[in-house]
Amino acid sequence: MPAALPDKRRVTGSYLQPLLEAAAARGVTPQALALAAGLPAGALDPLPDSLAAGTYVQLLEVGATLADDAHFGLHVGERVKLGTYSVYGLILLSCRDFAQALQQTARYEILAHDLGRSALSVDGERACYTWTSNFGSASRHLAESVFAGIRTFGNWLAGQTLPEAAISFMHGPGAPLDEYVRVLGVAPQFDAPSHSARFDAAILAWPVPNADVGLYPILQQHAEQLLARRALEQDDIVAQVRAAVIRNLAQDRVRLASIAEALELSPRTLQRKLAEAGASFQQVLDQARFALAQDYLRQPGLSLVDIAFLLGYQEQSAFSHAFKEWAGMNPGAWREQAARG
């Protein structure tokens, strides 16, 4: 039997900070947390750059026990700040509206943690945010900390208290409901099929107050560079190709040969690695272009000609034709629909 691959899932030190603060508020020191989790005494103080995601999950559980806090996860989420989310927190501040902010969360939260993944879907007048944990055996504190953090940061981002959302958790109730109402604004449903929040889709069109949308392309490029570095460390060829494509789109250097050269591979080797990962070069290229196109179409200052250039097309007509194949409508119609929320 082959040896198990090392678990490379991580949590940044900034994402760990709210947990340490919530524990400290209840008299639990970093040293006590480390000892209870089987870590060296100085593992958490000073704050590490990162730690294993599994260790973070364990710290949530031992923190709840040492603090004798049945709502520890909620109290960790309450202490989320802009810096908690590292680079992608800054990206959220440059988003035009909440729809874009949630979409960027799904793309870039991996830069803060490997605890789970976000997804957003819209069905008519209702929207649904779903969070899928990478640690199915974790205590309820993990999911509750994530949703409390989103609520806390969302209120801060909006500059007001967000309307109530119908929140559901997969786990059962483990503590009195009054604290859920205080932190989340509503008593959740428990024993549900997924961790989710359903809300009025009109909220997605809410603007982000004081957003500096001009910084978005710069911050996104930086975030993509970090994703590329991460993909290289984890030998994720699809992510490496996607990042290389994004870096080279505007220079029209996104043919297989040029991307292979950028990754120091032969075209044949790159094709083989992608096939082994269940992907093709054209799929990765189209997905990268489509995701970026949606981002750019939400920026009112960019014309269709500008967007076509940024995506590496020589002619606007070629971009429009490709976008219609991806989205089922031309980019102008998609932009109008997005503007209406």
CA angle at residue 195 from 145 to 17, to 5 degrees?
A: 15
DSSP 185-224: SSPPB-S-SSEEEEEEGGGGG-B-TT--GGGHHHHHHHHH
Residue 127 is which amino acid?
A: A
On whether residue 152 sits in a domain, the answer given is: yes
Asked whether residue 93 falls in the same domain as residue 189, the answer is yes
Token pair of 152, please?
């806390």
Domain limits at 295?
235-339
At residue 99 the predicted structure's pLDDT band, cuts being 50, 70 and 90, is: very high
Rounded alpha-carbon distances, angstroms, from residue 305 to 117, 280, 309, 313: 34, 28, 6, 9
Tokens 């040896």 found at = 3
On whether residue 315 sits in a domain, the answer given is: yes
Which range is least confidently modeled, 21-30, 156-165, 288-297?
288-297
Asked whether residue 65 falls in the same domain as residue 40, the answer is yes
Asked whether residue 62 falls in the same domain as residue 86, the answer is no
Of the candidates 110, 80, 105, which has an alpha carbon nearest to the alpha carbon of residue 10?
110
Asked whether residue 184 falls in the same domain as residue 242, the answer is no
Distance CA 320, CA 40 (A): 57
On whether residue 108 sits in a domain, the answer given is: yes
On whether residue 316 sits in a domain, the answer given is: yes
On whether residue 100 sits in a domain, the answer given is: yes
At residue 7 the predicted structure's pLDDT band, cuts being 50, 70 and 90, is: low
Of the three residues 71, 92, 120, the one that is the final residue of a domain is 71
Q: What is the pLDDT of residue 234?
A: 59
CATH number at residue 252: 1.10.10.60
Asked whether residue 270 falls in the same domain as residue 245, the answer is yes
> pTM, whole model, 2 decimals?
0.71
Count of structural domains within the chain: 3
Asked whether residue 44 falls in the same domain as residue 134, the answer is no
Q: Which helix (H) or strand (E) holds 46?
A: none
Distance CA 155, CA 163 (A): 9
List of residues 6+ apart from 5 with CB closer than 8 A: none
Bridge partner list, 197: 129, 167
Asked whether residue 133 falls in the same domain as residue 176, the answer is yes
DSSP state of 84: G
Distance CA 151, CA 22 (A): 17
On whether residue 210 sits in a domain, the answer given is: no
Asked whether residue 111 falls in the same domain as residue 168, the answer is yes
At residue 232 the predicted structure's pLDDT band, cuts being 50, 70 and 90, is: low
On whether residue 215 sits in a domain, the answer given is: no
Residue 2 has pLDDT above 70, yes or no: no
DSSP state of 117: E
Of the candidates 340, 270, 329, which has an alpha carbon nearest to the alpha carbon of residue 97?
340
Cβ neighbours around 151 below 10 Å, total: 23
Token pair of 158, please?
């909006």
Asked whether residue 92 falls in the same domain as residue 143, the answer is yes
Of the three residues 71, 94, 109, the one that is the final residue of a domain is 71
Of the three residues 71, 91, 115, the one that is the final residue of a domain is 71
